[in-house]
Amino acid sequence: GKEYFTIYDFVDAYHHFLDPEWDGEPIDETTEKEPKGPKTPCDPIEKPPVPPKIKIKLRDGKEREIQHMIATTFWSADGKPMSAEEFLRSMFGALPEFFKSEDELRKIWSNPNTRKALLEKLASAGYGADDLASFQKMINAEKSDLFDVLEYISFALPPITREMRVAQAQSKIFEGLDNKQKEFVEFVLSKYIETGVEELDQEKLPDLLTLKYQAISDAEEILGGVENIRNTFIGFQKYLYEKV
């Protein structure tokens, strides 16, 4: 009978048989191994505590909530320091000078020109963009629009995220746009979600076009000239802020 077998060594492994360190002593399979103890359950991951909030009732009889642990000092138009509560009460009293209703605020905010004018007037009255951004953090609305901050202060309406705002308005925004316009508007909206309402300023348009198309001349060729681009950029914004 056959008393051998053949190994086909394609990698010259037989050289290792002469190396005493390669093979070593045979493993003792009979040695008893210590039994492994029962696995201890992992400690549950604790969620970070929700920052405490304080409730402030304003003259409309409704409460606004702000984070208690964020220490921020605001400054009035005449240079006096104010607490967050004083800032809230002051701004609540002042905002009716700039818009009388939620619909009026939406109309103003829907156009880059009137939105910019409103923000400039607010800054002159002591409620600048930095103050609004600080207050935005105090109401946990960093992912929302500054529009939501003004709505919350004036009308006690809960903020929504920029992403949610886009999702709610997307079908209306894309109505009547061709594929190239739609692609550009989608790009603008992605920047808006990522950064904020400043991405919708007219001053940002050249930067957005360059970022998307590398050259403004290429953007004009794709989207149909400066006037068409401008109309597309301004036109979709009214749908973004329409009441759902």
pLDDT one-digit tens code per residue, 111-152 = 999 999 999 999 999 999 999 999 999 999 999 999 999 999
- As a whole number, mean pLDDT of residues 10-35 equals 55
Q: Which of 3-12, 16-25, 30-39 has the lowest mean pLDDT?
A: 3-12
Q: CA dist 205 to 48, 179, 231, Å?
A: 40, 19, 11
Locate 137 and state its tokens.
């953090």
- Main-chain phi, psi angles of 54, to 5 degrees: -115, 145
Give yes or no for a contact between 106 and 72, defined as CB atoms under 8 angstroms apart.
no
Beta-ladder partners of 144: 161
Q: Tell me the pLDDT of the chain averaged across its residues.
A: 86
Angle at 61 between CA 59 and CA 62, to 5 degrees: 110
The pLDDT score that the predictor gives to residue 171 is 95
What does the CA dihedral 74, 78, 80, 84 come to, rounded to 10 degrees?
A: -30
- pLDDT, greater one: 43 or 218: 218
Beta-ladder partners of 81: 75
The pLDDT score that the predictor gives to residue 34 is 61
Predicted model pTM? 0.77
